[in-house]
Each structure stands twice: as C-alpha cells, then as structure tokens.
Structure 1
Amino acid sequence: MAGIKDIAKEAGVSISTVSYALNGSPKVTEKTRQRIIKIAEELNYVPNAAARTLKTRKTHIIGAFLGDYSGSFYGELLKGINQELADTGYELIVCNGPESHRLMTERMVDGALILGHRFTQEQILEFADRGHPLTMLDREIEHPNISCVLLDNQIGMNQEMEAILETNPNQIHLVNGPVGNHDAVERRKVVVDRANAAGVAVREWNGEFTKRSGIRAASELLEVIQEGDAIICLNDDMALGVYDVLQNFSLRIGEDISLVGFDKLEITNYTQPRIASVSYSKPDWGKKAARALLHLIEAKENSKQTIPSKFIKDASIRKKNNK
C-alpha cells in the first residue's frame, strides 16, 4: 500500500509538501496540490485515519448515544441528523451498548448527541468538564460545552388534555414513561396539573416507553377501567400496546373510552380507529441537534433550542360524556 513517502518520491517533492497538499494547507499552490492528489489517486493512496487523528486531534466522527434505535421514531431522528451532517465532512455512528462511553473517554468521537442513554447527570458533566462537546435532547444541563435541543412537551400535551377534558371523563388512566426521563416528567406534570384543576381523578400505571410496557399496563387497567374513562399514554409505543390489548375488550376505543398517545408515529394513522397523538418533526429535531453540535465543535458556542409540538385530534377520542 502506497504511503506519503511513495507519493513524495513520485512527485519529486518533500514529505511535508505532500502532507500540506493532502490536508488542504495554503502552504502549497493549487497547481501543486492537484498534481499531488492525482499521483496519490494513481498510487491508490489511502490516508491513515489513526495518524491523521493524532495530528489534528479530530476524528470527524459524531456519536449519537441513544437509549434505543429501533422503530420509526429513531429512524426519522437519525435521518435528520444524517441530512444535516451530509457534506460537512463528519460521519455518524450510533452508540447504545454498556461500553459505549469509551468512545468519549478515548476521544474516538468529536462530539456527542445524547437522547435516552444510560448516562447519569454526573457522567455527562464529567464529559463536559473534560472538553467533550455535547448536545442534549433529553434533559436540560447548564455547561459551556453543552447545547440543549429539547422537545416542547408543554404545548402539545396541554392541547391533548384540553381534548380529553372536553369529553368530561370519569377518570384518567395515565401510562407513565421511565422514571426520571425528562420528557416523561414534563408530560406527566401537564396531565396531573390539568386533571387536578378540572377535578378529574388520575390513576397511574407504570410504563417504560415501550410497546411491551403498554401491553402490561393495559392488562392491569382492564380490571378497573369503566365506560367514559380516558387512557393517556405518554408515548405512542405504549399507546399501541394498549390498543392491541383493547381489541379483545368489550369497551370500544373512540366510542366507550378514549385513548391518546404522544409522538404521532406513522403507524397510528393506520389503526382503527386512528390514535390521536401529539405530533412534531423528528427529522427537524435531528437536524437542529446536529447543527447545534457542529456549531459547538467549530465555534465553541453553546445554545438552547426547542422543537414545537402540536396535538392531532383523531377518532380514538370519544364524544362528550354526559354525567
């Protein structure tokens, strides 16, 4: 395999001149650069990424540290991230395993996007203190090396609660998200506060933002749910789990009881009835998060942004209950 020395010998220039040319340095003329690049291509030269990283202290790799990466939600989010990184010279790797933190500690990535990962607050602050640029999508943290691009849960969740309260529900069954999850906490607060203000009882069920946890919660709440009640799931995966269980139940979604979710996954448009949910642009979230991280890496300036949300009313909400 050809190396820089071989290119220098073929071109009749010094090794440093070849290095300058291949790295885009202004220390060589454009004519010389093009001639050296042509020779490098003819010799099938492949840059040594490890050596380049040692020299520039950059890998040009962005790490997306996610709690999961299955399903349409993460697919759309990653699509937006990739679109923003296109033509920037940065590549994306998705990280999820228990040893993925090593990619940061060993500086194998230039920056990180974090959503739903197992990192604790202390770990994140430790990464930031060591100079790692981070963009948070799942919690707000104040630090010069941290940008935050968070979903505005308030607007969409308040709109959803207005639609549910208009049905005059007997009781609300709230299927929660993971304990301590930023989005779950914000969404739950809106539900509980609005229900308390309206004098509607809320019964809570454990959930983990997974379809399986929605199925488990539905199997439990079937024993107590009554006609006129409403089920609020803090994400669509859980709502889909509840929906599946209720298909074999006497109370009908949209007629006897209401069912709503959050995320407006594409599949909710094909359930019968269609599941009402809070919508927002996952690709735009990914784009803005990637853009904020690149700005933090290149300009050393952090930022805070929010992604707007909107409730999409649909047939899974029953008509007003006349108590």
Structure 2
Amino acid sequence: MVGIKDIAREAGVSIATVSNVLHGKRNMSDKTREKILAIAKELGYELPKIRIKEKSSDNKTIVVNFSDFDTNFYLNILHGISDYAYSKDYDIMVCTSRNAEKYMSDAYSTGCINIDYRCEDSMLIKAAENNYPIIVLDREINHFGIKSVIVNNYDAEKEMVETLIKSGYERFAYLSGMDTDDNKERYRAFRDALSAHGITFHRRDHYEGNWREKSGTQAARLLMLSEHMPQVLVCANDMMAIGAMRKFREAGLRVPEDIAVCGFDDAFVSKYMGLTTVEVPNYERGFLAAQSLVELIEGTGSYESLKIGARIKWRTSTLVKTS
C-alpha cells in the first residue's frame, strides 16, 4: 500500500509537507503542491476527500481506545493524556474496541488516541479518511490522517540483552506477548543481539504468552519441565515476567542465581519484585499523544511519526556488569 512516506520520498519533501497538501492547506508554493498531487496520482495513492469542518466550541471531546485486559498498564498514559487535554479544555471519552468505531466520528468526538491492539488498521483508516485525526500509540500506520507516537523498543531491548551476554549469560529463553508491533520489535532486537554475539537461539526456547501474568506462570512451568533450562528468561512485558518469577520461587528456584528474569514496561509492581526491565515513559507518552492530537485538530500539527526513547532499569532479578 502506497503511503505518504512514499510520496514524500519521491517528491523530495518532508512527510509534514505531504500531509499539509493532502489536508488542503496552502502553506506552500503552488508548484510544490501540484508536484505532490501529481506524484500521489502517479503512485496510485487514493486522495482523501477533504471536508472543511467548522470548529465548534461545543464538541471538544477526545476518544481514547484502550484494551481492558490490564487497566493498570494504562494509568500513567491516561494521566498524561488527561493532564494535557484538560489544560486545553478538551474532555476525554474512554472506550474499548467494542465501541470504538461508533465513537470515532464527528457526532461524538473531534479526534482519537488509540492504544487498543484489537482495533484493526482498516477500522482506523476508515475513520481517518473522513478527515478525522487519529494518534496511534501501539503501531505505525503509514496512512493519511493517522500519526504514530511510539516507543523505540529496539534499542533498549538490544542493549539489555547485549549487557546480559557480556555479563556471562549464554543460554536464553524468550517469552513473547500478543502479535503486536511492540512485540515484534522487542523480539527482533533480542534475536539481533544474540546473533551479533554468535549465540544460536533454538525455536524450542521461544514461548508464546498473551501479556498476562498467568501466561508467565505457564511458561515457567514448561521451562522447569524441559531438558533445556536457560540461564535467563527474557519476557516481552513485565506482567509475564512477574508471573514467571513467582512460579520459579514457588518451586524453590532462586532468582537470579538459578535463573535470571527480565521484562519490559516497568510496571508499578516491578520495582517491588526487583525485576530488571525497560522503563517506558508512559506519562510523557500520553502527554505527547494528547498534545499531537490537539495540534492536528486545531490545524497546527504534523502527521510525521514521533518516536520516544526508553531506558533500562537494572534490578536484582539479573546478575549483570554494567560498568
């Protein structure tokens, strides 16, 4: 599918410039605008139907779509969203994928922030094509009307695994979460780190979970039954890592002496469990998402993707040499 990044690359301009042209803005020369529209047509990009909406002081509501499987994970994100939104006199409507499509329209709201992996790309694109601005926090969608505010999972995950390797760990197991962009990027970083250090990773050591603590418990149980006990279990999120740690300790294994464990996200309970993890600045993530959406609603923003950095939190669930 051709997207605005492809048009920008072909035209030799920024993604923001292409976005402004497709939005019908006139803050560039006629020559540039005509060039971009011609390239879009040549590449087969379906130009959106631009509607000029009258700003209404009566409708300043932002929809936030989030998954209901783990409300605690989203509290800091929602806090950041609400702090910025309320400072600009916007209200917030929180819903899940079951009701998202209904409320993602001018009749109910002026824009949307999506953190629900169950909201399919096609549904978000359909809403965006009606000149309805959307911010996605859980994936990259290269389409007009949608801006991605995402975490740089790759660099932090790779650095964490490489530090574990340099500290002497050689036998790894990995516990994946649901099939999301975050999960894929974290797993790719994990594999790349092992490959860069000449460590072979076997398919038997790759376990699949669903982000929940229970799936971490199940993975730990399977690991203890296998003949290939790893030195360290790397988990795609903290809740699964915490489930695994509890099961290991319940079985009499010492963490990290018998098996090390690390996660991702820095959930609230991780600090008290001593879990090594990657801290994601979720408050700031929510704040920036709300700021970006309000700017798009008010016609001053850009649809260019925004990537947020993350940092490792070394704790007692791993034995590492960080100096």
**TM superposition score category, shorter chain reference:** 0.7 to 0.9
The answer to which of 294-303 and 76-85 deviates more is: 294-303
Secondary structure of the residue aligned to 1:209 is coil
Give 2:244's match in structure 1, choosing from 242, 245, 256.
Answer: 242
Structure 2 CA distance, aligned partners of 1:72 and 1:104? 24
1:256-313 per-position Cα deviation (integer Å, ceiling 9, x unaligned): 2110000112211111xx1100012110000000001111111163232111101111
Q: CA deviation at 1:62?
A: 0.5
Structure 2 CA distance, aligned partners of 1:206 and 1:69? 17
1:194-227 per-position Cα deviation (integer Å, ceiling 9, x unaligned): 1123233431101111112212222222212666
Taking a change above 3 Å as real, the CA distance of residues 216 and 228 of structure 1, as seen in their structure-2 partners, is closer
Gaps of 5+ in 2: 1-52
Instruction: Tell me which residue corresponds to 1:219.
Output: 221
Instruction: Tell me which residue corresponds to 2:189.
Output: 190
Instruction: Tell me which residue corresponds to 2:209.
Output: 207
Q: CA deviation at 1:72?
A: 3.3
With normalisation by structure 2, the TM-score equals 0.76
Structure 2 CA distance, aligned partners of 1:319 and 1:129? 49
The answer to which of 151-160 and 217-226 deviates more is: 217-226
Secondary structure of the residue aligned to 2:206 is strand
Taking a change above 3 Å as real, the CA distance of residues 94 and 186 of structure 1, as seen in their structure-2 partners, is same
* Percent sequence identity over aligned pairs: 25
Gaps of 5+ in 1: 1-52
Taking a change above 3 Å as real, the CA distance of residues 162 and 250 of structure 1, as seen in their structure-2 partners, is same
Equivalent pair of 1:169/1:200 in contact (CA under 8 Å): no
Q: CA deviation at 1:236?
A: 0.4
Equivalent pair of 1:176/1:188 in contact (CA under 8 Å): yes
Q: CA deviation at 1:71?
A: 4.2
Structure 2 CA distance, aligned partners of 1:239 and 1:258? 10
With normalisation by structure 1, the TM-score equals 0.76
User: How does 1:298-317 map onto structure 2 within 5 Å?
Assistant: 298-299=298-299, 301=301, 302-317=303-318
Q: Is structure 2 residue 140 aligned with structure 1 residue 165?
A: no
1:33-61 per-position Cα deviation (integer Å, ceiling 9, x unaligned): xxxxxxxxxxxxxxxxxxxx999396211
Q: Residue type of the partner of 1:92?
A: I
Structure 1 CA distance, aligned partners of 2:102 and 2:58? 16
Instruction: Tell me which residue corresponds to 2:20.
Output: none
Instruction: Tell me which residue corresponds to 2:5.
Output: none
Q: Structure 1 segments of 4 or more deviating over 3 A?
A: 53-58, 69-72, 225-228
Structure 1 CA distance, aligned partners of 2:282 and 2:320? 30
Q: Residue type of the partner of 2:96?
A: N
Structure 2 CA distance, aligned partners of 1:78 and 1:130? 26
